[in-house]
Amino acid sequence: MDNLVHIPVMLESCIEGLKLKDNGIYFDGTLGGGGHSYEILKRSSPNGKLVATDLDDYAIERATERLKEFNGRFTFVKDNFKNFSKIKEELNIEKFDGIILDLGVSSFQLDDRKRGFSYLDGNARLDMRMNKDAKLDAEKIVNEYSESELKKIFNEYGEERFSGIIARNIVNNRKINRITTVGQLNEIILKSIPKKFQHDGHPSKRTFQALRIEVNGELNGLYETVLDMGRSLNKGGRIVILTFHSLEDRIVKKAFKELETDCICDKSLPICVCGKKKEIEIITKHPIIASEEETAINSRSKSAKLRIAEKI
């Protein structure tokens, strides 16, 4: 597994977006292979500091080894970045000069076939947990959620138009045998989607995305966390967020908009009574997308959208 690599997406744009200072303090919520963190530490030398989180022990272990040349300047915490407030408090940090989130899974999680993230390995167990200590996994969802719950997550998180029939077929199949492998689920999905609609990527793509989002609670609390992060920047500090599907991008866009919105009082009022103040300047009016060169060498970058904002 050690030869699995994660190529950081839009590395230059992210790092430029952070406007690093040599004595700044930064937060990377999604450490992964440590690609973005490495550049943050390198380009904020000699005194820049970094706090980073990941849910995955393997990510923390690997990045600790990879970034050891910067020992003393970073703190890695195995935690959910959504516990940002608590982590800040525990480390006695009030504000950061830059925050980065590179959402979703890393290539080494996807490519480690044993972890069940990919629909490409039929033998893998239906797992999909970023955090191996978590209780909920894809097998539990597929075998224990009701038909209507399954339909709802496939529909909402996978935007799968055949969510109803996939859910029904899962429920019918599991009455006979527990569904434990990627292959069993692929087979059910394949039988649920009419042939003529099987050409928009792999038929399992959307259902697997939905399951992964549900297993890891990827969208839960994201909006509130982005608001909190935006408010926890020093003046001039930047927040840089990479998303990989429209559901998370919409949440980030909405949170940035909320932070950017100034007083919402009726214009006829002589003074502001709402107290709402503009807190950030959105730097990317439209999200940045990867160049053709990058998408040619890193297919993960194809769906990436980068949004950047600055604390005012």
CB nearer to ligand SAM: pick between 6 and 49: 6
Cβ proximity to ligand SAM: between 78 and 202 the closer is: 78
Q: In whole angstroms, how close is the CB of 10 to ligand SAM at the nearest point?
A: 10
Q: Which is nearer to ligand SAM, 63 or 167 (CB)?
A: 63
Q: How far is the CB of 193 from ligand SAM (least distance, A)?
A: 28
Closest-approach residue to ligand SAM (CB): 32
How far is C-alpha 190 from the geometric centre of its chain's CA atoms?
27
Alpha-carbon distance of 50 to 87, in angstroms, equals 13
**Distance (Å, rounded) from C-alpha 292 to C-alpha 280?**
30
Q: What is the smallest separation between the CB atom of 292 and ligand SAM, expressed in angstroms? A: 21
Verify cis geometry, omega within 30 degrees of 0, for the bond prior to 287. Answer: no
* Helix 205-216, helix 147-158: angle, nearest 10: 100
39 or 310: CB nearest ligand SAM:
39
Pick 131 or 143: Cβ nearer ligand SAM: 131
Beta-sheet strand order (sheet of 233-243):
74-78, 49-54, 25-28, 96-102, 233-243, 305-311, 280-282
Integer Cα distance of 129 and 138 in angstroms = 8
- Say if residues 227 and 239 touch (Cβ distance below 8 Å): no
DSSP conformation class of 83: G
Report, in Å, the least distance between residue 274 CB and ligand SAM: 32
Name which of 53 and 207 has its Cβ closer to ligand SAM: 53
Residue carrying the six token digits 């998180």: 157
Distance in Å, CB of 300 to ligand SAM, minimum: 8
Q: What is the distance between the alpha carbons of residues 183 and 225, in angstroms, rounded to a whole number?
A: 36
Beta carbon of residue 244, minimum distance to ligand SAM (angstroms, whole number): 8
Residue 118 or 169: the one with the smaller Cβ distance to ligand SAM is 118
Query: By C-beta, is 54 or 137 nearer to ligand SAM?
Result: 54
Task: Report the nearest approach of ligand SAM to the CB of residue 222 (Å).
Answer: 8
Alpha helices in the chain (DSSP H): 11-18, 35-43, 57-66, 84-90, 107-111, 138-144, 147-158, 163-176, 182-192, 205-216, 222-231, 246-260, 292-297
**Residues at the interface with ligand SAM (CB under 6 A):** 6, 8, 29-30, 32-36, 53-56, 59, 80-82, 102, 104-106, 130
In Å, the largest CA–CA distance within the chain is: 69
Nearest distance from C-beta of residue 107 to ligand SAM, angstroms: 8
| CA angle in degrees (0–180, nearest 5) for 2-68-241 | 80
